[in-house]
Amino acid sequence: MNAPVGSTLLERVKGRRGVRQFVKFGIVGASGFLVNFVIFTVLQRLVPNHTAAAQYYTIYSVSFLAGGVSNYFLNRSWTFRSSGHAGKEGAQFLSVSVLALGVGLVVSALVSPYLGRGHKTWFLATCAGIVVNFFINKYWTFRSVA
């Protein structure tokens, strides 16, 4: 495919649908990351002994899935502009979120002996599933519009 004469690399990249979707997915992900962070922080303040393993993993799971629910609605309506069956896509998105949650919990278990069970571990664990989350949702959950 030949680029129009005079177009810059940035213009050609911006014109690619997959790149635009990835940028939008990143923006939505940042908003979900913020939802996740706020809920994680509030729950840390409310839950006694929040650094104990069971409490940390529960707090992490609740906050992670809350961010995921927010991401689903924004990705469905804005990133992928899906008009597919909301129930089916929702179930698929939730499945991917649970997979990403599992990755985050494994990362938490691996790094918490070194970093403790706080925001540093939360950050690394939450970042662990971003690329996988994008590609599975793009090519499975929202494949009809990908």
Please spell the DSSP secondary structure of 101-123, one letter per residue: HHHHHHHHHHHHHHH-SSHHHHH
Question: Domain for residue 9, yes or no?
Answer: no
Question: Domain for residue 1, yes or no?
Answer: no
Question: Domain for residue 50, yes or no?
Answer: yes
pLDDT attached to residue 79: 87
Question: Domain for residue 21, yes or no?
Answer: yes
Judging by beta carbons within 10 Å of its beta carbon (0-12, 13-18, 19+), is residue 66 exposed, middle or buried? middle
Residue 2 has pLDDT above 60, yes or no: no
Q: How many domains does the chain have?
A: 1
Tell me the pLDDT band of 118, cut-offs 50, 70 and 90.
very high
Question: Domain for residue 132, yes or no?
Answer: yes
Residue 116 has pLDDT above 60, yes or no: yes
For the chain, what percent of residues have pLDDT higher than 70?
88
Tell me the pLDDT band of 105, cut-offs 50, 70 and 90.
very high
Q: What is the pLDDT of residues 15-74, one digit of tens each?
A: 677 788 888 988 998 999 999 999 999 999 999 999 999 999 999 999 999 998 999 899
Question: Domain for residue 3, yes or no?
Answer: no
Give residue 22's domain range: 14-141
Q: What is the pLDDT of residues 5-17, one digit of tens each?
A: 566 766 666 667 7
Please spell the DSSP secondary structure of 2-67, one letter per residue: PPPTT--HHHHHHT-HHHHHHHHHHHHHHHHHHHHHHHHHHHHHHSTTTTSHHHHHHHHHHHHHHH
